[in-house]
A and B are shown apart, each in its own frame.
Chain A
Amino acid sequence: MTKAFDNEMKIEFLSKSQNEAFARIAVAAFIAQLDPTIEEIADIKTAVSEAVTNSIIHGYEGKVGIVKLVCKIVQNEVFIEISDTGKGIENIEVAKQPLFTTKSNLERSGMGFTIMESFMDNVEVESVLGLGTKIIMSKKIKTNSSQEITQEMDISEDNSKELINSGVRGEE
């Protein structure tokens, strides 16, 4: 079977929360080659933001570390891997529960994994206490008639950010 499209990128950045926006915008720009809908872009950006926040806030707990992000495109599917070498998750099943948080005093909602799971097709978590956490998630970009809408809007490099920022409104 031949692959219609294969591509990959990697970035590494310090565990500073300023970089959350950088990470999700980098992924959004990279996957633009698949002509995703505005909604698909927004879903993926939100999931990336949640995973990166988890690494920064929970993995490294404010200490400086490196967050690694790998994004792959295989045919019309996007695979995103976000990993840290922070403290790891004690119990993954418990951490995935909606509203579970170890930091409720800091106004954390405990919705990170729930959002990742509902916005992506698949989310896998690997974690070893003291060694770090890796989140692998994937989403298929649909190639159907809804694509026509995005094609009309011509997501070029210059206006892609504006389109992404305009949210689903752009589909009018």
Chain B
Amino acid sequence: MLKQKLKHTLLVSTTLLAMQMAPQTLASDNASNASHHASQGSKYSALTIGDSAVAGAQVSTAVVAIPLAISGGLAMSAGSASVSVAESMMDASSNKPLPICEEVVIAGPPPSESL
């Protein structure tokens, strides 16, 4: 009886120890999920309302992003989906910073939420 109890306790302790020792240090932080997308609404609120709000910048939800083409001796391949705008800005030989919008951009909700 005592032997069985000891065996049981040892087994439980080992399992609990194993749980603690499993490589939590390897935990990825790149999980994505429905709640992530659902949380986009609360993210928008956090960025726009109250003390935590971003001052002096508009918060915008993105619908789509299309890569901008590199020009200036590095022509895009035919039929490229990239958009080519403000040719002088995009010229690879320019030293000026690429233009960046002032808006704080966040991803929109998942397509399933638009139904």
Interaction A to B:
no
What residues make up the interface of A, taking CB atoms closer than 8 Å to B? Answer: none
Binding site for A on B (CB under 8 A): none
